[in-house]
A and B are shown apart, each in its own frame.
Chain A
């Protein structure tokens, strides 16, 4: 697969698989500029739909809350800028404006929060043809400056909202929605009756 995926300097594994949490020591990071203490999240999923369709759904940022369950809303401000409202632990919300930094239709979108954002973050989602005809490899890379530093991240872990957990659950829902037209659920009361 071609590649702007961040890789370690020493092997072919993606940077997000690194055991060493100090990601800045491992290698170059095209398009993303992690600082010491940042959290890097990477996750790939293969979705059996054409990449143009997946790109189009994702690029319409108002669709994101349909599969990103911690995103309450995304309002599109103009062609590049959007306003995000995120559910944070303990019932709070965090808001920021985000700008598209790179946009290749059918191929990738990258974004970065505005300078004044309380949670500095940047990310990119890439859509690559699967080399074996299995659909599209969707790869998300996120870099967070976690709220409250390490302690904030620990709290987030307790609430199951750690960025890594959130990203992999969001990507699973994106795959479900794109492949089946719905998001799988067994949640009570409607889906799983309980006394």
Chain B
């Protein structure tokens, strides 16, 4: 089959690789109908996530048609259309049983789990197409994909709903939702969102859906700020104004009740010390860039809430621990428990209460995937989301 594979920094290619097969009883094989490039795929593209290997098949936002099901899966049937969560979860461990699917104890293979146990104290869960820290599972930017524990993750999509409306259930829609839910929003709350990429925009949408009084979105790309504004947010362009000053004034001196860092480790230019971090990164000191997060901690009101859906992987310095403690902020973070949110969010989509299609700026064939990566990376104003379709290709 054809698949988008990683070969190094800013080097992704379309290769012919072996078709996936059923390996374990609960596996399924999907024929991919739509797959998207995620903002977090750009971390891999930039090679800021370790443990990538040349030839790894990328992609963790995908959906498709079930073409094969292992004997241990009695739920899925050949021919069904499903969206697959990016986190792989067994459904039967202590964590899955309390719906902490992104903390599943079993899906990361025993050999690869050692790395994250060393880094984070405990082994992390498996995920599709996202380095060997999360298991080295082949991703879905391909014609076919193997889905482990396929009786737990995939959600069946009713006939008649087009791919574009439900594809983002795989990651960014639930990620934006959980980011807002983690803010424990009260009806009078003002929520500030750093970053108007896909997760930031879905956080804006979710914060309103969960009852926020006001949402203030922060970015510097005009098109992305326009999208946030079209959803009802007030916007701040951080290149033009001092963000903390603006937030203080816009909230009558109190500050935002909740702050969402939807930027993660790639944040550029949010504060003056960004140059120092770039130097450290250049000499391979492993330091995550955290400008947006620092700014959020400083700008958040006393006793406020901080939600971090943005991806970080390592360590950071100049972290404003004093502001965090003295102001009494509470923090929630983490990879998204996608399986927990999918049914509710599919309902909201079916009812027409959540729309995800506004985000898609570019549709391409899988073969054009490398161009899609380059455009998404280089043209962040114009390119808000790239969806790839492997249609018209044959299984080899």
Contact = CB atoms under 8 A, between A and B. Distances in A.
Interface stretch (B87-95, B176-184, B285-293, B372-380): B87-95
Interface stretch (B10-18, B164-172, B222-230, B259-267): B10-18
Interface string A148-182: 00000000000000000100111011011001111
A192 B36 CA distance: 19
Interface string A69-94: 10000000000000000000000000
A165 B111 CA distance: 9
Interface stretch (B23-31, B43-51, B300-308, B363-371): B23-31
B123 A172 contact: yes
B20 A193 contact: yes
A182 B25 contact: yes
B40 interface: no
Nearest to B93: A179
A176 B142 CA distance: 28
A184 B110 CA distance: 7
A7 B338 CA distance: 41
Contacts of B25: 181-182
Contact of B93 (A48, A170, A190, A193): A48
Interface string B88-119: 00111110010000000111111111100100
Contacts of A184: 24, 90, 106-110, 126, 135, 148
A186 B126 contact: yes
Nearest to A182: B24
Contacts of A179: 90, 92-93, 106
Given A172-B110, A181-B26, A186-B135, A191 B20 contact: yes
A171 to B, nearest CB: 8
B94 A134 contact: yes
A185 B17 CA distance: 18
Contact of A192 (B1, B92, B113, B138): B138
Nearest to A135: B94
A48 B148 contact: no
A69 B109 CA distance: 12
Chain A at the B interface: SS class: loop
User: Which of B3, B16, B92 has the most C-beta atoms of chain A within 10 angstroms of its own C-beta?
Assistant: B92
B113 A186 contact: no
A195 interface: yes
Interface residues of B, number: 45
B138 A195 contact: no
A194 B55 contact: yes
Contacts of B111: 169
Contacts of A182: 24-26, 72
A139 to B, nearest CB: 17
A24 interface: no
B303 to A, nearest CB: 32
A168 B116 CA distance: 13
Contacts of B117: 168
A193 B57 contact: yes
User: Which of B110, B137, B138 has the most C-beta atoms of chain A within 10 angstroms of its own C-beta?
Assistant: B110
B147 to A, nearest CB: 11
Contact of B18 (A69, A168, A172, A194): A194
Interface string B51-90: 0000111000000000000001000000000000000001
Given A176-B90, A180-B90, A185 B23 contact: yes
25 contacts: A69-B110, A134-B94, A135-B94, A168-B114, A169-B111, A170-B110, A179-B92, A180-B91, A180-B92, A182-B24, A182-B72, A183-B109, A184-B24, A184-B106, A184-B126, A185-B109, A186-B136, A190-B21, A191-B138, A191-B146, A192-B20, A192-B146, A193-B3, A193-B138, A195-B5
Pick the 9 closest A-B CB pairs, nearest first. A172-B110, A193-B17, A169-B110, A195-B15, A182-B24, A192-B138, A186-B137, A193-B18, A194-B55
Given A188-B18, A191-B20, A191-B137, 12 more contacts: A168-B117, A169-B114, A176-B110, A179-B106, A180-B90, A184-B126, A184-B148, A185-B23, A186-B126, A192-B138, A194-B17, A194-B57
Interface of B: 1, 3, 5, 15-21, 23-26, 55-57, 72, 90-94, 97, 105-114, 117, 123, 126, 135-138, 142, 146, 148-149
